[in-house]
Structures are given as structure tokens and as C-alpha cells.
Structure 1
Amino acid sequence: MIKPVPHVAALGAYALADLGGAKTISMAQNESAFPASPAAIAAGRAAMTELPCYPDPEWRELRTEIAEIHKLEPDMILCGAGSMELIGCLIRAYAGPGDRVLGTDYGYAFVVSASAQVQADYVKAREVDLTVSVGDILDAVTSDTRIVFVCNPGNPTGTLITNAAIISLRKALPADVILVVDQAYAEFSDVENDPAEVFALVDRGDTVVMRTLSKAYGMAGARVGWGYFPPAIAAEVRKLLNPNNISIAAQAAAAAAMRDQDHMRDVVARTAAIRDRFADDCRAMGLSVPQSHTNFVLLRFASDEQAQRADQALRVENLLMRGMGGYGLSDCLRATICTPEIMDRARDVLKGVMT
């Protein structure tokens, strides 16, 4: 039998959400409750006539639109097949055996897998009240630390720290440690945290900011993410990216989505209104729900057993939330915000469990 290299053989496959059966309504993957911009859909369809050709490996149109919206330098933007590709390539470029990648208690789980793929040690810094703690991150840094990942807003917690906290963290970290600020849900918090303040850290040469079109732009199926990189780091990461990583149709749709900021802001506002009403209803039942700055809420039950009962009751009604046992939060379910009708159904099921 042909054997893989030992560290790959020891890996487990990255665990995606349980999607249930054909009739199941998924509330588990933090997909958008609303469709992508009509302009994005039209642009993607129109681009299908170009399928005989390879996609633009420099993502020129898409980078131009991103740079225009966020007032950034286009040449410092890298695009990936979701932010996952960019995260994986960054870790491959800057970490290896004996190095440490530092995250937080409830940071993005894919970073754990990407670190294991290069035989780097993944270490978690404590979060306080389900929120990133700058002090605890700094306490966990050692001479072997190469990269620090901070999700802001957090997933699966939905919590947010200020730009001032991010800036203070960067100033206190050693200059040879890369800080990665994963902002997959930032469009839901940009009104609270001016994005320009965090993007400005990239000019230091030691900070990367990641974003995606999977959430607020409703384009998870297109697999389009992007990051703002210092030129020296971008050059190394670029070597590892698939040179034709985003399809012609996805690039065209993503560029059109970036141009339609009104649609994105409308989706964010509608999602937040549904989210806050659902969260208030859950708190009224006695559930603990941290203030969310994303398109999901974390529901904390009185016990692991109660969370399991809620999960089973939801499944009976063909509703599927995400269990959080893999994050050490087995007393929690994470609920993606869906349409009001679906959220009302979920609320009624939970009310039955709680009573």
C-alpha cells in the first residue's frame, strides 16, 4: 500500500457543517439570508460566454473595484478562492515545523487545520467573556510565534473588539510576528469600526487584513475572498496561490457586487434587524446570547444536555443549527440568520424546549 507522509496521514479532514437531509433548512453555515446583488448575478451570467478562456490571474477588474470602495492600493490586494485559500497560503509561506501559530479560544477553526498541514503548532490564547483579549494574546506570544490570527468580529461568538484594541495589539507584538486580522463579517460592523484604521496597519509591513464576499455580499457559492497585504508578504503568498483560482464568472459577479454597495448595505441592515429581534426573543426565554456583530448569533443553554435537546427538536422540524462542541462550547448552538419566517419557526421550537 502506498502511504502518505506521516503528518498528513495523522490529519483529520476539515469538518464542515452537517447539512442534514434534502428537506433540511440549514442555519449552520452563515450563508446570507438574501440573494446577491441582481447586478452581480447578471454579470456572472454574461461572463459565461467567456468560459473557453482562462480567468484573469491578476483579478484586475475585481481588484480595481475593491480598491476604489476601500481607498486601497490595488497592487496590495490578493484574491483567493474564499479567504480560506489566502489563509492557507499565508501559513504555508511563513510557518513550518517548530513554529507557532497563535489564535484565540474561539478563533476560525480552519487556521488549526492549515497550521497542522505545515506541522506548525497551533496555540490558543484565552478569550474573556467570549471576546478576544489583547492582554491574553500578548501573554501567549513566545520566541517561536510567527503568526497571530484575530477574528474580528469573532466566529462563532459574534463579538467585536475596537480598532483601538487591534492597533494596540499590533504595536505591542514583536516586529517579526505577522498579525492577521480576519474580517469575514466586517461589513456588519464597519459602521462601528472605521475599516480604514485597520487597513492602515498594512502599511507597516507586518499586518494582513482578510475579507470575503461570502457573507454580506451573499456570494458564498462563488468562492471569492480577498486580502490586503504588505508587498513583501504578498509576493511570497502569491507564489502559492493557484494562478487561475477564481473563475471568470465569479470574478465578474464579484466586481459587480462591489459596485453595488447599496445592495450590500441593505442586506446588512435587513439581516441585523432580523438578528436583533431573534436574539431578544431568545434572551427573553432565558438563553444567554452575546451581542452579535455578524449574520449569526451564538445561543448558550443552561447545560450541554439542554443544547442537545434543542438541536434534536430543531432537527425534527427540519431546522439545523451548528453545534459548537468542536470549539469547546458544547452548551451552545450557532444560528445563522435566515428569513423572518425561518427565524420565527426556530424561535417557536426553542421556546418549546425552554418551557
Structure 2
Amino acid sequence: MPLKAAAHIEAMSAFALANFGGYDQPTLAQNESAFPPSPKAIEAGRDATARSHLYPDPDWTLLRDAIARAYGVERDLILCGAGSMELIACTIAAFAGPGTDVLATDYAYNFAASAAARVGAAYVKAREHGFEVSIDAVLAALTPATRIVFVCNPGNPTGTCIKNTELLRLRAALPGDVLLMIDQAYGEFDDQDPHALFALAGRGDTVVLRSLSKAYGLAGARIGWGLFAPQIAAELRKIQNSNQVSTVSLAMAVAAIEDQAYMRAAVARTSDIRDRFAQGLRTAGYEVPESRTNFVLVRFAEAAAAAAADNALRGAGIVVRGLAGYGLADCLRITIGPQDVMDRALRILTALRGRLCW
């Protein structure tokens, strides 16, 4: 008899990354930073390789100190992980399971669905309206089985953002035994003051997640952090891998967090390229929602048009992200890359729009 995995694992699909078409091509598919990390982070990582024979600090002491100073948050609420993906997975594993629901929205980050399937929880979606999270739709979708509400703000793959006051309204209306998880992987691109959301973490019914992959350019280092009340953190620490953030990654993260000026400059440069690219696409006749991330969503008249645009870009060596897996086969997500790459992408899409009647 052949060896079989657990039934709920056999039933799930693997989390799908972008189809790169080859790692030697420029990719605008992964939402990586258009710019390298701070030179101080690169230097710190280089120096830390000499300590690679030692296990890393399992309590992320220096990194938690740096985050607390930079973001004005309570150090003891901070947990770090191998990317925010690990923190999402561990939170769902700790507080959901068979017979419970993880409630998200139409276009929430799909990894949450994989994390729910991994523990046998149902993944339920509330409708979004105009590519934006609808708090009223989330509240209407609650059931007695709901244990976690997962909201991305700013959203991925939409790039859109709702007011933080709406998230505060959501928390106020949720039952006390429902955990609210707010994924702010793109939070540095949002000009709203985050402290009202950060303050929710101390209540014991909300977690707020951040990432160093986007604004800080450390996608390859795999570091995320979040704010967790002590009773929530205690459960996550039971299932987190020990020493999961490497010595080199920790050193790079500390230096990157301490170089806020570099991060803010990278975000400003990325946002400027993004806004000019988005406006160029709108001028050409494409639908592009306002983005508060390091990418834009482009909507086409139909799936075939999106596929034609994808093929045209790939033919020029530019890889973008198709979104059929999100139910958005008529859309492409385009990460903001270097200016010359974005200029080429805009020329291709403008010419394609002019040739075809959609």
C-alpha cells in the first residue's frame, strides 16, 4: 500500500509562486524592491558571516530593540520570523483548525488560504468592492465558526488601501473570541499613521504584521515582524522553529531598520515611479486602481487581452504576474522595478492598447 499524506494535506494545493520564465530575466512579478537594501545592511551582513558558526539569537534581541525605537512600539510585543509568511502560518496554526473558519476577503494574500488548509480550517472570503476591502461585507460573513479574520491593508494583489478607522471599526464590531490579523507587509507605502492599529495588539485579540521584504529590500533575507500580545505570542513560540532567522539576516535587518532615511528615500523613489507608470497606463486607456504598495494592478477588458499583454511583455523579457489564481484572469499585477524597465513596459502596453480594440 503506497504511503499517503494526511487527508487534508492531500486535498490542498501548493502555494503558487510566479511563473518567472527563467531567473535570468528581469521580473516584475514578485513585488521585490526596485532598489537594493541599505549599504549599511549589506555591510552588516558581510561582517556577520564571520559568526555563521554560531546559532543566531533566538529572541532577536537587537532587532526587537531597533524595531521598537524606529516604530515607537512596545518591545515586548514584538515577534520576528522568517518572513511575515511564517508569522501568518504560525498564527493560523495556533488559533484555527478543523471545524473553524479563517475569514478573509476576495483578494487577500493567498498564502493565508494555504496556511488554513494546512491545519484543516475552512477558508472563507468576504466580497471586496472596487478592489477594496469592505468592512461591512466582512462583518456580514461572520459565523459562529469564525476564529480568525485576516485583512491585508494595503492589499495584495490589488494595491488598494482603506482607512485605518475602518479597521478600528472592524475590531470594535468583532466578537472578543475572534482574532483579527492585519497584514501590513506594504505598510511603509501607506502614509496613514499606524499607531492606532499598533495599539490594538496590546488588547490580546489583534495582531499586526510587517515585513522587511518590500520597503527595506530584504526579500532574500526572509525577515518579518509583528505585534502580539503576550498570551498570543506564547502560543506562537510553541510552534515557531527555533533560530529561524539566520545570523546574517538578523544583522542586515538591524542595520536596515536603523537606516530609516534610506528606507524612506527608497519608498519615495518607488512611489514616484509607480505613480508615473500608473498614470501612463491610464492615459493609454487601462483601468489601474490607486496603489499604496510597490506594484500596480492593471485590469483589461477580458482575460484574453490580459494574456496577450502578458505574452507581449514576456516576449520582451519582462515577467509580470497573472492573477487567474485570485479569480482575476482579466488582470495583471506589475511590480515597480527600475525606471528603464518600467518605461519599456509602458511602451509595450501602450502600443498593444493602440493595436487592439478592447
TM-score tier after normalising by the smaller chain length: over 0.9
User: Residues 140-179 of structure 1: matches in 2 within 5 Å?
Assistant: 140-179=141-180
Residue by residue over 1:39-81, the C-alpha shift from the partner in whole angstroms, topping out at 9 and shown as x without a partner, is 0010011000001100000000000000111121212111000
Is the CA contact 1:27–1:338 (under 8 Å) kept in the aligned structure 2? yes
User: Residues 69-84 of structure 1: matches in 2 within 5 Å?
Assistant: 69-84=70-85
**Residue 289 of structure 1 aligns with which residue?**
288
The reply on whether 1:60 has 2:61 as its aligned counterpart is yes
Letter in 2 for 1:101: V
Letter in 1 for 2:173: A
Percent of residue pairs identical: 56
Q: CA deviation at 1:23?
A: 3.6
Q: CA deviation at 1:6?
A: 1.4
Q: For the residues of structure 1 that align with 2:167 and 2:87, how far apart are their CA atoms?
A: 21
Is the CA contact 2:157–2:333 (under 8 Å) kept in the aligned structure 1? yes
**Residue 225 of structure 1 aligns with which residue?**
224
Over 2 Å off, 4+ runs: none
**Residue 205 of structure 1 aligns with which residue?**
204
Superposed CA RMSD: 0.7
Task: Give secondary structure in 2 for the equivalent of 1:147.
Answer: strand
Q: CA deviation at 1:241?
A: 0.5
Is the CA contact 2:77–2:202 (under 8 Å) kept in the aligned structure 1? no
Task: Give secondary structure in 2 for the equivalent of 1:331.
Answer: strand
User: Residues 186-335 of structure 1: matches in 2 within 5 Å?
Assistant: 186-189=187-190, 191=191, 193-335=192-334
Q: CA deviation at 1:303?
A: 1.1
Q: CA deviation at 1:22?
A: 4.2
Between 169-178 and 196-205, the greater mean CA deviation after superposition: 196-205
Residue by residue over 1:177-204, the C-alpha shift from the partner in whole angstroms, topping out at 9 and shown as x without a partner, is 0001100000001x2x101110011121
Q: For the residues of structure 2 that align with 1:120 and 1:294, how far apart are their CA atoms?
A: 29
**Residue 112 of structure 1 aligns with which residue?**
113
Contiguous gaps of at least 5 residues in structure 2: none
Question: What's the TM-score, normalizing by structure 1?
Answer: 0.98
Is the CA contact 1:183–1:210 (under 8 Å) kept in the aligned structure 2? yes
Residue by residue over 1:128-163, the C-alpha shift from the partner in whole angstroms, topping out at 9 and shown as x without a partner, is 100000000000011110000110000000101111
Is the CA contact 1:17–1:29 (under 8 Å) kept in the aligned structure 2? yes
Q: For the residues of structure 2 that align with 1:250 and 1:260, how far apart are their CA atoms?
A: 15
Residue by residue over 1:1-21, the C-alpha shift from the partner in whole angstroms, topping out at 9 and shown as x without a partner, is 222111112222110111112
**Residue 47 of structure 1 aligns with which residue?**
48
**Residue 101 of structure 1 aligns with which residue?**
102
How many residue pairs get aligned? The number is 353
Question: What's the TM-score, normalizing by structure 2?
Answer: 0.98
Q: For the residues of structure 2 that align with 1:13 and 1:205, how far apart are their CA atoms?
A: 31
Q: For the residues of structure 2 that align with 1:352 and 1:21, how far apart are their CA atoms?
A: 25
Q: For the residues of structure 2 that align with 1:23 and 1:315, how far apart are their CA atoms?
A: 12
Q: For the residues of structure 2 that align with 1:152 and 1:256, how far apart are their CA atoms?
A: 26
